[in-house]
Structure 1
Amino acid sequence: MLRRAIFLALLLAPPAQAAETLRLNPGASTTLRLKENLSTGYSWRLDTAASESLDRVAVSDGGHKRGAEMPGAPGEHVWIIKGVAPGAATIAFAYQRPWEPAPVETRRVEVVVAPR
C-alpha cells in the first residue's frame, strides 16, 4: 500500500525544472516567453508564494501571444522582468488551470541585479 502511495505521489507531482539565471543591470529589462496552450485551460501565472525577494525586480504580464492560426494551436505567455534594486531574486511561475489545486509544470528564474 505504501509503495502505491509513493508511486502515485511521484506520478502526480509536477515535473521539476532547473532554474535559469538572468543577469540584469539596475533599470534594465528582458522578456521571458513561456509556451502555453490556452485552449486546454492551462496558463502561466506568477507564483508569488514560491518566489523570493520580488522587491528587487518588477515582473509585468506582457499577455498571451497566439501561435499558428489553427484553432487549438499553442502560443506563448510573455513576461517582462526589470531589475529594480541590486541583489538576487527568484521568480516562480506555475502552469495550471485556475480551478485545479496544483500546477502541471513550474518554472523558476533566478535574477541577479548588478551593474556590469
Structure 2
Amino acid sequence: MKYVLLIMLLMIGCSVSQSERAFFNGNCDRFFEDRHLTWNVYLQPGDSLLVTLCSNATTGFRWSESAQIKDESILEQRGHTFVPPEKSMPGAAGKEEWTFNALKKGTSVVVWEYGRPWAGGEKGEWSLTATIIVD
C-alpha cells in the first residue's frame, strides 16, 4: 500500500507544470564579433527570462539601466543587477543581468544599448535587440 501511495504521489508531482526560464548570455567575445546582436525568444505566459550581458564599467561604458520594452503589457522587467568579475583584476569585465516575466500572449521588442551615458559620450556602441514572442 505504501508503494502504491508513493507511486501516485510521484505521478502527481511529475504532472504539475512549472514555468520555464529562458537565458541569453552575451559575453564580450560575442559583441567583439558583432557589435549589434539580434535574438528571437519564444516564451509562454508565466515564463521568466534572464539576460546576461558583458559589462566593464572601468571603461566608462555601461548598459542602460532599464531595457527599452516596446509593449510592457506582454513583458515585465523584474530586476537589473551588476555581477562583478569572478577574479578581482583591475579592468576586468563583469556582467549585468536583467530578469523579466512574460505576462500574456503577444509580441514585444526589447532593446539594450551599451555606451557612455554622459553628454557627448558614445551611444549605442553595442546593442542587443530581442524579439519576444509569448504564445
Deviates more, 1:103-112 or 1:86-95: 103-112
Offset, 1:59: 1.6
Q: 1:57 aligns with which of 50, 53, 75?
A: 75
Q: What's 2:131 paired with? A: 110
Offset, 1:112: 0.8
Matching of residues 1-116 of structure 1 within 5 Å: 17-45=36-64, 46=66, 48=68, 51-67=69-85, 68-99=87-118, 100=121, 102-114=123-135
Deviates more, 1:95-104 or 1:68-77: 95-104
Q: Is the 8 A contact 2:37 2:127 kept in 1?
A: no
Q: 1:65 to 1:56 in 2, by over 3 A?
A: same
Deviates more, 1:77-86 or 1:51-60: 51-60
Q: Which amino acid is the alignment partner of residue 92 of structure 1?
A: V
Identity fraction in percent = 21
> For the residues of structure 2 that align with 1:34 and 1:20, how far apart are their CA atoms?
13
Structure of larger gyration radius: 2
- How many residues were matched structurally? 98
Offset, 1:16: 5.8
Offset, 1:101: 5.8
Q: Is the 8 A contact 1:96 1:104 kept in 2?
A: yes
Question: How big is the alpha-carbon RMSD for the aligned residues of Structure 1 and Structure 2?
Answer: 1.8
Structure 1 runs of 4+ off > 3 angstroms?
none
Q: Which has the higher contact order (CA 8 A, sep 6+)?
A: 1
Offset, 1:22: 1.3
Q: What's 1:7 paired with? A: none
Q: What residue ranges of structure 2 are gaps of 5+ in the alignment? A: 1-33
Offset, 1:28: 1.2
> For the residues of structure 2 that align with 1:37 and 1:25, how far apart are their CA atoms?
33
**TM-score between both structures, scaled by the size of structure 1:** 0.75
